[in-house]
Structure 1
């Protein structure tokens, strides 16, 4: 019974993601989320208190999902450079997926100034991301692949800023095919930052 409830909740969250990617934060409603999930509005209300509760849980669900995917990709590799490459590949996953996520994510960030819950969820997401890159840097320093004097905390934050900056630039670019260029630029920027030996 619990598993079925979890599946239904995830179905609604996927629908909320779809609805928000099409309509945007301000226009999405519980009814449009219900329509995308092909359930009644009452079913949405059963699992979520209101629109803000639904969207807060959506942001948390989305960022956790992304973090877990990136972590699994990195952990599937054994060498520091393999981990770094896997991380970039998992971040620049595919044009369609990146575009959909960042359209929704930027909508959330535009609300974060007035919404402490969103800020907290995003900070937790960033801490998770910094954790991934910190582990990659530590592993590279131990094996002598990366510069020893790098400040791990600062460099991890810079790496996340590079990712977001490049993906936002790519999203604003008319040329959808430039995704590969931005992915390669990200990887090269990381190599330069980490001063690969």
Structure 2
């Protein structure tokens, strides 16, 4: 039976492997990545990785889930916050990310985006990305529905609004990462305010 200490140690080991994977992927890219590259980024032996994961593919699948957990679990909005405040927080989180002590948001998004490009040929990874996309869209849709019910948002199709905002965010990420348009997130945030949110909010 695992004790709390054992579980904590296992969690710490997992995090160390995941963070080492971030660094290794950033240096080598997905195609050229070897397990030994990840091992070189850790203060543990490479055998620890093989003990926890059945090879590179299994590790990458868990790594994707780790990235997603970091972002989905880091939106902090007061349960009593007005819908406008919560919607702003969720959009900002998706565009600008949470704060990290090491290996910042766009470094992490670069790795995420590279793996995203391979998902079209990988059913398991595509399913992980689809689930993540669905949760982001749903979280935005739910805020829009709440705003409509409270009478502060116009009576729009909340699901389509959630999908539109989510798609615009993904396009901005891709433009920055693939095309090098560094101002894309800020420009997109301003466009969301002007062309989407201003038309969503009821006049106060």
* Aligned-partner Cα distance in 1 for 2:30–2:71: 20
Partner of 1:40: 45
C-alpha offsets along residues 134-191 of structure 1, whole Å, 9 cap, x if unaligned? 221011101222121x222222122111101112223345564664333333443440
Q: What is the number of residues matched between the two proteins? A: 193
Larger RCO, structures 1/2 (Cα 8 Å, 6+ apart): 1
Distance change in 2, residues 1:188/1:38 (3 Å): farther
Structure 1 residue aligned with 2:117: 110
Cα distance between partner residues in 2 of 1:178 and 1:118: 26
Shift of 1:104: 1.2
Shift of 1:117: 1.0
Contact map agreement 1:88 1:187 (CA 8 A) in 2: no
Report whether the alignment pairs 1:168 with 2:174. Answer: yes
How far 1:46 moved relative to its partner?
0.8
TM-score, normalization by structure 1:
0.87
Tell me, in whole angstroms, the C-alpha distance in 1 between the residues paired with 2:106 and 2:80. Answer: 26
Gaps of 5+ in 1: none
Pick one of 75, 91, 96 that aligns with 2:94: 91
Residues 1:4 and 1:11: Cα distance change in structure 2 (over 3 Å) = same
Q: TM-score, normalised by structure 2?
A: 0.84
Equivalent in the alignment of 1:31: 36
Inter-partner Cα distance in structure 2 for 1:55 and 1:122:
13
Q: Which residue of 2 aligns with 1:101?
A: 108
Residue 39 of structure 1 deviates from its aligned partner by 2.0
RMSD across aligned positions (CA): 2.3
Instruction: Go from structure 1 to structure 2 and tell me whether the alpha carbon gap of 1:32 and 1:189 turns closer, same or farther (over 3 Å shift).
Output: farther
Question: Unaligned stretches of 5+ in structure 2?
Answer: 1-5
